[in-house]
Amino acid sequence: MTSLLILNGPNLNLLGTRQPEIYGATTLAEIEALCRTHAKSHGVEIVFAQSNHEGEMVDLIHAARESHAGIILNAGAYTHTSIALMDAIQSVEIPTIELHLSNIHAREKFRKKSFIAKVVLGQICGFGAAGYPLAIDAMLAHLR
Ligand code: CA2
């Protein structure tokens, strides 16, 4: 069965607790449940992960080579800073979609810069939690 890694970066474990006007009121556990239901209806498996640590995210991306056909990545603030994540995505050669809850292009200038944009299939941002099932659909359309 096709398996996707949905990887979430720093502070996303706090979703639903603060700044709902920017990130929505849905918790990460609720987003995971949404993804599981959506993936099941499409006959695909998901591994849903979150880490506050850049190196751990690099390790998870490397490990994805063994078991995942695609990666959906909300790298959080590392999006705007991490050459290590960019290199990891490029090195594993697994199709990856960049995902953000908020529209990073409509916010502070520093959020417009994404180091990972260069090495991903595309970017989905600004649709809140609904972006996750959209990203699953986009990944499956790419893989099939
Ligand atoms: O919009 C997104 O999904 C982001 O990746 C979220 C990151 C931000 O640094 C990116 O620029 C865009 C931040 C996640 C912080 O999550 C919080 C959750 C609850 C309360 C405060 C922050």
Give the per-residue pLDDT at 89. 98
For residues 89-108, average pLDDT: 97
Residue pair 123/117 in contact (Cβ under 8 Å)? The answer is: yes
User: In this model, does residue 112 exceed pLDDT 90?
Assistant: yes
- The residue contributing the CA closest to ligand 1 atom 18 is 15
DSSP 43: T
Per-residue pLDDT averaged across 44-51, rounded? 98
Do 73 and 116 touch, CB atoms closer than 8 A?
yes
Q: Whose CA is nearest to atom 21 of ligand 1?
A: 18
Residue 19 binned pLDDT confidence (cut-offs 50, 70, 90): confident
Separation of first and last alpha carbons in the chain: 13
Ligand 1 neighbour 23 (Cβ under 6 A): yes
**Residue 114 pLDDT grade (very low, low, confident, very high; cuts 50, 70, 90):** very high
Cα separation, 130 vs 4, in Å, equals: 17
Q: What is the torsional sign of CA 62, 11, 74, 76?
A: negative
Domains, the chain, in order of start with CATH, read 3-143 (3.40.50.9100)
Task: Tell me which residue of 135, 123, 141 sits closest to 34, measured CA to CA.
Answer: 135
Residue 85 beta carbon below 6 angstroms from any ligand 1 atom: no
Residue pair 96/5 in contact (Cβ under 8 Å)? The answer is no
Average pLDDT over residues 100-126: 97
Averaged pLDDT, 50-67:
97
With 0.95 as the threshold, say if the pTM is over it: yes
